Amino acid sequence: MGAPLVHEIIVDELVAVTRAGGLAAGLRRIVDCGLPVPCAGSGRTLVPAGAAGRVVAWHVAGAELTAHQAAVRVLPHPLASTEGLELIEVTATQPGAGRPASGSLMVNALLVAVRLGLIAAMLDLAVCHLRGRRVEGLPLALKQLPQSTIADALASAELCRYAVLTAASATALDALHTRLGTTGWSLTILFGGSGYLRSHPARCLYVAELVRDAWVVPATVDS
């Protein structure tokens, strides 16, 4: 088994920052670490609004481009903007620019921590929501099904927190991101129809999936 990619203190810090400040706050902390930001094959990615100028390097189509080697363009994306993010398109300033890029596993591990912070925030919100809704004279929070869903989400989040401290491959990290996506979906259901509206805070869980699409190294790249 390989060495851990990320320390427990860093994971807990990112969880706390994201829980308090949201998706953009967590991603901004990763950007400020000075790690290359991954882009999807199209050269597009999501970063906190105004943070592109602080990115030291980009991973684009298997190459690592420094800030001086990359041309950056901001594209409109109404849903991303609700979370304080920007859709960025990155291209090389000249053909052949950059150096070969290996898998950005550290960034992917940190993204797990950010998503754990979102799960924690949505758990807080779901409990408050369920306490305020009553069925047959009792708060929904006391009903067996919501309690079971919350318990499962808490257990899943704790499992992912432990697992990210030992994950050392793209395959392992991809499994954690998939699990967190499923957990987020279960929490969205607790808010009823409002959880699917763009105006509802639970939208952060969906936007986090969009970030994953751009940031997560495919499981076939275990480097």
pLDDT tens readout for residues 27-57: 999 999 999 999 998 899 999 999 999 999 9
| pLDDT of 16 above 80 | yes
Grouping H, G, I as helix, E, B as strand and the rest as coil, residue 23 is helix
Cα 158 from Cα 130, distance rounded (Å):
22
What distance lies between CA 179 and its chain's CA centroid?
A: 12
pLDDT at position 222: 43
82-115 confidence digits (pLDDT tens): 999 999 999 998 887 778 776 578 999 999 999 9
How many Cα atoms sit within 13 Å of 34 on the Cβ side? 0
* Mean pLDDT, range 124-133, rounded to an integer: 86
pLDDT at residue 220, as a whole number: 47
Q: What's the pLDDT at 137?
A: 64
**Residue 184 predicted with pLDDT over 90:** yes
Q: Quick one: which H or E segment has residue 55?
A: none
**Contact, 25 vs 175, CB < 8 A?**
no
Amino acid found at 125: L
Name the DSSP letter for residue 195.
Answer: G
Q: Distance of CA 223 to CAs 33, 50, 63, 74, 213, Å?
A: 20, 30, 14, 30, 18
Domains and CATH numbers, the chain: 32-100 (no CATH), 105-215 (1.20.140.10)
Share above pLDDT 70 across residues of the chain, in percent, rounded to a whole number: 90
Q: Which helix (H) or strand (E) holds 4?
A: none
Strand arrangement, sheet containing 44-48? 44-48, 85-92, 70-75
pLDDT of residue 192: 85
* pLDDT level of residue 4 (50, 70, 90 thresholds): low
